[in-house]
A = this chain, B = another copy of it.
Amino acid sequence: MAEITYLEAIREALFEEMERDANVFCLGEDIAAYGGAFKVTEGLSKRFGEQRVIDTPISEVGIVGAAAGAAHMGMRPVVEMQFIDFVANAYDMLTNYVATARYRADLPCPMVVRGPSGGYVRGGPFHSQNPEAGFIHTPGLKVAYPATAEDAKGLLKSAIRDDDCVLFFEHKYLYRRIKGTMPAGDHVVPLGKARVAREGRDLSIITYAATLWKALEAADELERADGLSAEVVDLRTLSPLDDDAIQATTKKTNRVLIVHEDTRTGGIAGEITARINETCFAWLDAPVLRVTAHDVPLPYAPQLEDFVLPQTNDIVTAARVLAAY
Contact = CB atoms under 8 A, between A and B. Distances in A.
A274 B103 CA distance: 31
Contact of A136 (B91, B241, B265, B278): B265
B103 A297 contact: yes
Interface stretch (A10-18, A51-59, A215-223, A280-288): A280-288
A263 B139 contact: yes
A105 to B, nearest CB: 10
A85 interface: yes
Interface in A146-205: none
Interface in A74-132: 85-86, 88-89, 91-92, 95-96, 99-100, 103-104, 125-126
Interface string A259-293: 00001011111111110011001001011111000
Contact of A91 (B91, B241, B290): B91
Interface residues of A, number: 47
A310 interface: no
A266 B263 contact: no
Interface in A245-270: 263, 265-270
A100 B88 contact: no
Given A274-B288, A281-B286, A287-B278, A100 B267 contact: no
A271 to B, nearest CB: 4
Interface of A: 85-86, 88-89, 91-92, 95-96, 99-100, 103-104, 125-126, 133-134, 136-140, 239, 241, 263, 265-274, 277-278, 281, 284, 286-290, 295-297, 299
Given A91-B91, A270-B272, A273-B273, 7 more contacts: A100-B125, A100-B297, A103-B125, A134-B134, A239-B265, A274-B274, A281-B287
- Which 4 pairs across A and B sit closest by C-beta, in order of nearness? A137-B266, A270-B270, A281-B287, A91-B91
